[in-house]
A and B are shown apart, each in its own frame.
Chain A
Amino acid sequence: MNFEFSEEQVMIKDSVARFVRDEYDFDTRRKIIHSEEGISRDFWNMFAELGWLSIPFAEEYGGFGGSVEDTVAMMEELGKGIVVEPYVSTVVIFGGLLAASTNEALKADSIPKIIDGSCLGSFAFLERQSRFEIADIATSAVVTDTGYVINGEKTVVFNGATADSLIVAARTSGGQYDRQGVSLFMVDAASPGVSIASYKTMDGQSASTISFKDLQVSASQLLGAVDQGMDIVDQVMPDILMALSAEALGIMATLNAITVDYSKTRQQFGTPISSFQALQHRMVDTFMACEQTKSLLYRGLCDATELAANPQLGSVELQKSVHALKATVAKSGKLIGEEAIQIHGGIGITDELNIGHYVKRLMTINVTFGDGDFHQKKFNQLSYSAL
């Protein structure tokens, strides 16, 4: 038994950590956010050159052949720098769905473009009415002589403004809430019939409302079997949630470290505020929250490894661990973020300080693919409904 990252994973971690430390300071990040695209193409190309964009993909597509553990190792470090380049959107989510699909032609065409940095991608799933239930889809894809025609609207498509390609979840059959009948389509964002209205999000990233008006797609753009799109989503979701949680963990560890350091230098009543027991105990609680979150992340990783080795075991344990993880990320993130602000005092609520920006990314991660209550409820259903 061991919970160490492998030598290779430590190398990845170290290289991302060096990048964050040496090249991605808070001012650099601020300039990137306020640039026209809101991301740095130079850094993205550098990620490609360093091989970071290839990590989770199979070697046959030019990938590194890594596991979710490798992605997690990397995401934790990206979180420490609240890096705004769309690694999660493009590599983990868009790339993850693509890699899990059975459309070999599409994979052979698109994965190398992710890896070489030429394709940014987004997953368009959310609709006005759907909140956290991904399968709640009204956007329709109706069969035509040449393929499908898509009509509908997607909201809060993360990094939609910069996306070259979209994976669109649309309904090919069934009722609005049915899991069966959802299909995933690869769509060129520049296609006629796609209109994109973008805006900034509080975490320094961007999102879009995307409308589809009589968008023509061919059957070859289907990621897998028609109507079975949720199978792909379900398969990839644990990896996505663990990657997001790892990013959150990096943020939490950073917030804790910054806050502890600040408390040692901030003087009040003639003494550092770190000497006050009322504050010490709160910092101990945030330390424990961070460690417990890390333990659940490791639990999820171990369950994923177990499941990969013994698929006959079924995915319930992994699902429970990942729901528990995401719910705990929500709780720990709230505690750690709010304590960081409180212990900093007035400066903690200024835009100038980095604290608030870390907190806003944590808040965005919290709602991405289900907030804490949503995942706790899912956990409850899996754990208690059979008793």
Chain B
Amino acid sequence: MDINFSAQDLAFRDEVRAFFASEYDAEVAASLSGGQGEDYKQAIISWQKKLHAKGWIAPGWPQEYGGTGWSVTQKFIYETERGAAGVPDVVPFGLKMVAPVIYNFGNEEQKARFLPRILSSDDWWCQGYSEPGAGSDLAALSTTAEYAGDNYIVNGRKIWTTFAQYADWIFCLVRTTKDVRKQQGISFLLIDMNTPGVSVKPIPTIDGKHSLNEVLFDDALVPRENLIGEQDKGWTYAKALLAHERTGMAEVADSKRMLANLKQRAAAEVNGGQPMIADPVFQMRLSDIEMELMALEYTELRVFASMASGGTPGPESSLLKIKGTEISQSIHELQLQLAAYYGGALQGELTNQQLGHEFATEARKSYMYGRAATIYGGSNEVQRNVIAKAVLGL
């Protein structure tokens, strides 16, 4: 066994580290830390354009479409450094979700039309998958696209659509043929958000923010040229994409950084003259998480090492999403516990100084929105079903 990176890889790590240190400064960090509205959107776009200018916006893409050409090791190092520096991941819907479908299954016109604007963050994409009646059972979706003339006429409702309020485009799974097996008869359609008949309805969430939406389609006309691949084959393309979504969700570096913050905060919070970090019960809760994270770090390394040597990830890869999200939720939970009374304060325009606490609002919002982590990307129950079937053969 050998845990070391090559000198070349270490040099790459230093380059990435230096880039984040100089470019992701306090101002950028503040602009990206959970704002709302148009300012927040512009802050994200401007940061992503910076990454694009550097050539690092799409490490996962094939080089011919604008990928970095990095090795598995370099991609891993990049992700680790990003998480460690506290840099938020790119908005995934364009770069990590629809783009792979377009370059794998789209035609040349579609590639030329969409990929460059995804790379440059000039188009903002959102994901139209879930519906009120189709969550974990995604294939039960009922939004219809009826073929008429050169257009599809789309009717139905998509739900839980993150950042639809910012989006220029939505990629949708729609039902084009009825009365067949539910996985058949589904097509993959790209829809301009400005199409008449498309409307967005906000869904406020328990963190007090607006990230999620319903997207409604009322006789929306979508040109046939926006169909990916063949009609009725959309499920195949979507499945390939879901596999993409389920990798790299351990977010170990992010959790390590959050845990380091948590420890600092626990050292500063005092109860009866004793810092919380010195409280034996709190220490047990903390180390329950920290030890599990130390294990997950090596589980992720094991997966990475087998990929780097050209192998396919072993069964251990399937637990990354489950453990990763459970750990990040546990960290949020302890952070909110630290905030005690202040966690319930709806701070509004009050400064932290006036409120009397530094991180309570952030702690509450992280905890609240963090509950989504075990629901999205294939709920953790669905993930367990997958492991039961694929790994244990149950």
Given contacts A260-B394, A380-B284, contact A328 B295 (CB under 8 A): yes
User: Hey, what's the 0/1 contact readout for A232-259 against B, CB within 8 Å counting as 1?
Assistant: 0000000000000000000000000000
- Checking A1, A283, A306, A384 against B263 with a beta-carbon cut-off of 8 angstroms, the contacting residue is A384
Q: Are B322 and A288 in contact (CB under 8 A)?
A: yes
Minimal Cβ-Cβ distance residue in B for A263:
B394
Q: Pick from B1, B278, B385, B392: contact of A305, CB below 8 A.
A: B1
- CB of B1 within 8 A of CB of A288, answer no
- In the complex, the answer to whether A295 meets B298 with C-beta atoms within 8 Å is yes
Question: Using an 8 Å CB-CB cutoff, how does the interface string of B270-285 with A read, 1 for contact, 0 for none?
Answer: 0000010110100110
User: Cβ of A3 and Cβ of B284 under 8 Å apart?
Assistant: no
**Contact of A295 with B385 in the complex, beta carbons under 8 Å:** no
> Would A384 and B5 be within 8 Å (CB), given that A3-B305, A275-B394 are in contact?
no
Q: Given contacts A1-B4, A3-B302, is CB(A277)–CB(B263) below 8 Å? A: no
Interface contact B388-A302, CB-CB below 8 Å = no
Q: What DSSP secondary structure best describes chain B's contact surface?
A: helix
Instruction: Say whether, besides A380-B283, A384-B286, A327 and B291 are in contact (CB < 8 Å).
Output: yes
Complex Cα distance, B17 from A80, in Å, reads: 44
Residues of A within 8 A of B149 (CB): none
The smallest beta-carbon distance between B66 and chain A, in angstroms, is 28
B323 at the interface (CB under 8 A from A): yes
Interface hits, A358-385 → B, CB 8 Å: 376-377, 379-380, 383-385
CA distance A5 to B288 in the complex (A): 29
Known: A3-B1, A298-B302. A287 touches B387 (CB 8 A): yes
Separation in Å of the B295 CB from the closest CB of chain A? Answer: 4
Select which of B2, B263, B308, B391 is within 8 A of A287 by beta carbon. B391
Q: Does A89 contact B (CB under 8 A)?
A: no
Would you call A387 and B323 a contact (CB within 8 A)? no
Question: Which single residue of chain A is at the shortest CB-CB distance from B311?
Answer: A4
Which chain A positions have C-beta within 8 A of B278?
384-385
The complex places the Cα of A82 from the Cα of B288 at a distance, in Å, of 29
Query: Closest CB-CB distance, A259 to chain B, in whole Å?
Result: 10
Nearest residue (CB) in A for B264 is A387
CA distance A277 to B319 in the complex (A): 17
Number of interface residues of A (CB under 8 A): 45
* A-facing residues in B337-394 (Cβ within 8 Å): 381, 384-385, 387-388, 391-394
Q: Is the CB of A376 within 8 A of B287?
A: yes
Query: Please, how many angstroms separate the alpha-carbon atoms of A320 and B306 in the complex?
Result: 26
Report yes or no: B394 in contact with A283, Cβ–Cβ below 8 A: yes
How far apart sit A298 and B294, CA to CA, in the bound complex (Å)? Answer: 11
The contact of B384 among A260, A281, A383, by CB within 8 Å, is A281
List residues of chain A with CB within 8 A of the CB of B308.
Answer: 1
Nearest-neighbor residue (CB-CB) of B288 within chain A: A376
B218 interface contact, C-beta 8 A: no
On whether the beta carbons of A384 and B277 are closer than 8 Å, the reply is yes
Across the interface, do B295 and A292 meet the contact criterion of CB distance under 8 Å? yes
Nearest CB of chain A from residue B6's CB, rounded to whole Å? 9
Known: A280-B388, A376-B287, A383-B287. Contact between A291 and B299, CB under 8 A?
yes
Would you give the shortest CB distance from A102 to chain B, in whole angstroms? Answer: 29
* A327–B295 alpha-carbon span in the complex (Å): 12
Q: A263-B394, A384-B277 are in contact. Are A1 and B2 (CB under 8 A)?
A: yes
B225 at the interface (CB under 8 A from A): no
Partner of A295, one of B73, B302, B392: B302
The total number of A-B Cβ pairs within 8 Å is 138
A69 to chain B, nearest CB (A): 6
Would B284 and A283 count as touching, CB distance under 8 A?
Answer: no
A387 to B270, CA, bound (A): 13
Does chain B have a CB within 8 A of A223?
no
Distance, CA A5 to CA B393, complexed state (A): 26
* B1 contact from A298, A321, A383, Cβ within 8 A: A298
* Chain A CB within 8 A of B8 CB: no
| Chain B hits for A299, CB < 8 A | 294-295, 297-298
Most central of A291, A302, A328 by chain B CB within 10 Å: A291
Residue of A nearest to B73 (CB): A1
Q: Is B3 an interface residue (CB 8 A)?
A: yes
Verify if B242 is at the interface (C-beta below 8 Å from A): no
Whether B388 contacts A376 by the Cβ 8 Å rule is no
Q: In the complex, how many angstroms separate the beta carbon of B80 from the nearest chain A beta carbon? A: 12
Q: Is the CB of A296 within 8 A of B284?
A: no
Please indicate the chain B residues that have their CB under 8 angstroms from the CB of A385 in the complex: 278
Q: Tell me which residues from 253 to 302 in chain A have a Cβ below 8 Å from any Cβ of chain B.
A: 260, 263-264, 274-275, 277, 279-281, 283-285, 287-288, 291-296, 298-299, 301-302
**Docked complex Cα distance between A376 and B394 (Å):** 34
Q: Mark B1-38, 1 if CB is under 8 A from A, else 0.
A: 11111000000000000000000000000000000000
A281-B381, A284-B388, A306-B3 known; A274-B316 Cβ under 8 A: no
Report whether A292 and B381 are in contact in the complex, using a CB–CB cutoff of 8 Å: no
Proximity bits, B288-316, A CB within 8 Å = 1, else 0: 10111011111101101110110000011
**Which residue of B275, B294, B302, B393 is within 8 Å of A324 (Cβ)?**
B294
- Is A2's beta carbon under 8 Å from chain B? yes
From 1 to 45 in chain A, residues with beta carbon under 8 angstroms from any chain B beta carbon are: 1-5
A283-B388, A387-B277 known; A288+B3 contact, CB < 8 A: no
The answer to whether B305 and A1 touch across the interface, beta carbons within 8 angstroms, is yes
**Could you tell me if A376 and B284 are in contact, using CB atoms closer than 8 angstroms?**
yes
Given A281-B388, A295-B296, A306-B3: A2 and B305 interface contact (C-beta under 8 Å): yes
Q: Which residues of A contact B4 (CB under 8 A)?
A: 1
Contact of B134 with A by CB under 8 A:
no
Residues of B within 8 A of A387 (CB): 263-264, 266-267, 275, 277
Q: How far is the CA of A306 from the CA of B394 in the complex (A)?
A: 40
* Complex Cα–Cα for A384 and B304 (A): 30
Contact A2 B2 (CB under 8 A): yes
Give chain B residues whose Cβ lies under 8 Å from the Cβ of A376: 284, 287-288, 291
Can you pick out 28 interface pairs between chain A and chain B where the beta carbons lie within 8 Å of each other? A1-B3, A1-B301, A1-B308, A2-B1, A2-B2, A3-B306, A5-B1, A260-B393, A274-B394, A277-B388, A280-B392, A284-B391, A287-B391, A291-B299, A291-B315, A292-B295, A295-B301, A295-B316, A299-B295, A301-B1, A302-B1, A305-B1, A324-B291, A328-B291, A377-B280, A383-B290, A384-B278, A384-B287
B residues near A (Cβ < 8 Å) are 1-5, 73, 263-264, 266-267, 275, 277-278, 280, 283-284, 286-288, 290-292, 294-299, 301-302, 304-306, 308-309, 315-316, 319, 322-323, 381, 384-385, 387-388, 391-394
Q: Which 4 A-B pairs have the closest CB atoms?
A: A295-B298, A280-B388, A292-B295, A302-B3
- Residues of A at under 8 Å CB distance from B? 1-5, 69, 260, 263-264, 274-275, 277, 279-281, 283-285, 287-288, 291-296, 298-299, 301-302, 305-306, 320-321, 324, 327-328, 376-377, 379-380, 383-385, 387
